[in-house]
Structure 1
């Protein structure tokens, strides 16, 4: 399979520069990413019995298929893998339909004081769930036991431990325990999902990233806040986003012009007034740790990439293993982006999907992995001052991502 992967790697580089891509920088980068994901996840589907002709056919499809068709195929490829993962989890901790939980377990973070860099500098404090309905009782296995059994059945699981990145702020990192192939779904990005219509409810808005590096943004503007999820839990519980740490605004320094503009165009809103429907989620999910992936140090390369995944909420038997909930009522509002700002549009907010979806993110392997730290290109904006530990992987990609 090595020669096939080499072909795919060469195709990734060539197709990303294709003149058929859109000229708008952000959309250009989005198309390049989808193209890569199409190749990686299709390569995974080929399996060990694939030959060179199969690889050539997929590369040819990637050069000719429309963005819409590639997106659909990527979604199908990812959904197929996640479906297998969910079935495996059901084998590990099957629900006992003859009994129910007597109490709801408080969500307690294990490592709220841990320091790390990039996407997750701090784990939020958690609070117990109040008046929660009962859920299904499952096997009383610990998080570590579930993780080990997943590795036995799937070949890999994840571990959070001190990063091997050589800088003082690296803190904890995310490691693959076992072996995974190119195109494998390696991790879920957990937490509360905010559409642009609900940005003003993100803790600390409008400077949401000043005290929280657990935030990540999809191309469509959806933001996921992993801070409330933290390190997961030890059982299956009703989770409604509890666990957000108190936001402490930075009051040092004089107010800048951009800050005044933000205040004119936006006003923080009280999120407690918006009802959030909780869901029974498996807090022991061994792959719900994407927010611990660090950015590569100098002379290192990323080995995973972000992939948008729209989970169909009609798949109720899989729902408990998707570590995300939507903020708000679930009603879609169409938003239009102008520079750094999002405004409500008069057009319909329907996503075009035939079924209700939950917009999430997963990490996909970009090469074969074996017992190593998972590294993700953060693509931090080069229009702002970057942290001292950040070394760009590709300045052009960073510029396109945030232009």
Structure 2
């Protein structure tokens, strides 16, 4: 497998420089990233029994298949992994209905509404949702215990520990515990999903990233705010993204009262949420992608972001997708014309009418074993970047935001 992976690495470098990619810098970088993800996730799907002929066929496909076809295959590969992960979680958490006595003896989980913090108004609602869906009974496992059991099943889990990145703002880092193959989905990016129509409701708008390092943007301009998720919880519960845990930003506050002032400015315009919340598994051990740090100089990233449009008709998997949509789903599909956004008509890309949640996952770019997860942040070089930020590839940063 090591020999085959070297072939894939060579193909990644060669195809990334191909002139068949689009001329637009941003689109070019998107296509290069999708090409890499196609190779990595297909390599993962080959499994340990793959031979050289299988690898050669995938590399050939990567050089010939359209970006749209590669996107579809990447989505299928990611969805397959998410499905297997969800089945493993079900195996650990859902009571065995055949064991009646165990089901009767297991204490039912209580849905205790968390205490609202000073940022609880950040998504435009101050009272608990009404008419919440019922929360099914699950085994009363603590998050740490569930995480260990997941590692025993799939070979790896995640943990938060002091980062090994040598700068004072690194804080807690994300660590993979166990072993994961290249192309594995190792983390899900949790939080509230904002389409361009709802940018103004992101806490701190318009300076949304001033004191919130837990924001991430997809190529299609969807923004995910992971700050309300924090590090998860200890129950399966109805979650609407309203309660924000009292976690201080990793951004250094240098002026007295600045943090408190930001909290006041974070209160958005009056609005209504699109839904009353979703039943989500807050103990999800993989819902920690927002804690991955950017590598310091001399360090190399070992994961990359991958867009994942979760199909909402997959009801059995929904509880393990740690995201909720802000606002009305009808206003999610927006198209950009210059500096303006307009609602796009017609069916979704690819012709499917199945509603989706536009999320992100982290995919391993090499085999990982008991190490810190490092993600290339690709911060825009048109804005002032933090002192600790060292570009992994300045040209990629430029194309990403071109």
TM-score (norm 2): 0.86
Query: Residue 88 and residue 347 in structure 1: after superposition, are their counterparts in 2 closer, same or farther (change >3 A)?
Result: closer
Query: Residue 275 and residue 312 in structure 1: after superposition, are their counterparts in 2 closer, same or farther (change >3 A)?
Result: closer
**CA displacement, residues 321-358 of structure 1 (integer Å, 9 cap, x when unaligned):** 0000111121145433356x442256447444331111
Query: Residue 167 and residue 269 in structure 1: after superposition, are their counterparts in 2 closer, same or farther (change >3 A)?
Result: closer
Q: Where does residue 319 of structure 1 map in the other structure?
A: 318
Q: Where does residue 343 of structure 1 map in the other structure?
A: 341
CA drift of 1:270 comes to 2.1
Do the aligned partners of 1:101 and 1:135 also contact (CA within 8 Å) in 2? no
Provide the rounded CA distance (Å) in 2 between the counterparts of 1:96 and 1:225: 35
Do the aligned partners of 1:333 and 1:348 also contact (CA within 8 Å) in 2? no
Do the aligned partners of 1:192 and 1:228 also contact (CA within 8 Å) in 2? yes
Q: 1:104 aligns with which of 111, 127, 131?
A: 111
Q: Where does residue 357 of structure 2 map in the other structure?
A: 358
**CA displacement, residues 169-228 of structure 1 (integer Å, 9 cap, x when unaligned):** 111000000000000000000000111111111111111111211100000111100000
Query: Residue 271 and residue 145 in structure 1: after superposition, are their counterparts in 2 closer, same or farther (change >3 A)?
Result: farther
Provide the rounded CA distance (Å) in 2 between the counterparts of 1:90 and 1:129: 28
1:2-401 matched pairs, under 5 angstroms = 2-95=2-95, 103-107=110-114, 129=128, 131=130, 132-244=132-244, 270=269, 272-338=271-337, 341-345=339-343, 347-348=345-346, 350-351=348-349, 352-401=351-400
**CA displacement, residues 300-320 of structure 1 (integer Å, 9 cap, x when unaligned):** 110000000000100000000
Do the aligned partners of 2:331 and 2:343 also contact (CA within 8 Å) in 1? no
Provide the rounded CA distance (Å) in 2 between the counterparts of 1:56 and 1:133: 49
Do the aligned partners of 1:135 and 1:236 also contact (CA within 8 Å) in 2? yes
Provide the rounded CA distance (Å) in 1 between the counterparts of 2:275 and 2:12: 41
Provide the rounded CA distance (Å) in 2 between the counterparts of 1:134 and 1:93: 16
SS of corresponding position for 2:219: coil
Do the aligned partners of 1:75 and 1:310 also contact (CA within 8 Å) in 2? yes
Query: Residue 338 and residue 89 in structure 1: after superposition, are their counterparts in 2 closer, same or farther (change >3 A)?
Result: same
Provide the rounded CA distance (Å) in 1 between the counterparts of 2:201 and 2:127: 21
Do the aligned partners of 1:104 and 1:134 also contact (CA within 8 Å) in 2? no
Do the aligned partners of 1:227 and 1:243 also contact (CA within 8 Å) in 2? no
Provide the rounded CA distance (Å) in 2 between the counterparts of 1:186 and 1:79: 13
CA drift of 1:43 comes to 0.2
Give the total of aligned pairs: 372
**CA displacement, residues 121-158 of structure 1 (integer Å, 9 cap, x when unaligned):** xxx9xx99565443111100000000000000100000
Do the aligned partners of 1:333 and 1:349 also contact (CA within 8 Å) in 2? no
Provide the rounded CA distance (Å) in 2 between the counterparts of 1:277 and 1:358: 16
Query: Residue 102 and residue 158 in structure 1: after superposition, are their counterparts in 2 closer, same or farther (change >3 A)?
Result: closer
Provide the rounded CA distance (Å) in 2 between the counterparts of 1:40 and 1:199: 32
Do the aligned partners of 1:305 and 1:366 also contact (CA within 8 Å) in 2? yes
Do the aligned partners of 1:102 and 1:134 also contact (CA within 8 Å) in 2? no
Which structure 1 segments of 5+ residues have no match?
Answer: 113-123, 253-267
Query: Residue 25 and residue 74 in structure 1: after superposition, are their counterparts in 2 closer, same or farther (change >3 A)?
Result: same
**CA displacement, residues 352-373 of structure 1 (integer Å, 9 cap, x when unaligned):** 4331111100000000000000
Provide the rounded CA distance (Å) in 2 between the counterparts of 1:333 and 1:239: 20
SS of corresponding position for 1:68: helix
Do the aligned partners of 2:133 and 2:279 also contact (CA within 8 Å) in 1? no
Provide the rounded CA distance (Å) in 1 between the counterparts of 2:344 and 2:364: 39
**CA displacement, residues 215-249 of structure 1 (integer Å, 9 cap, x when unaligned):** 0000011110000000100010000112237999x
Provide the rounded CA distance (Å) in 2 between the counterparts of 1:37 and 1:108: 40
Provide the rounded CA distance (Å) in 1 between the counterparts of 2:346 and 2:205: 26
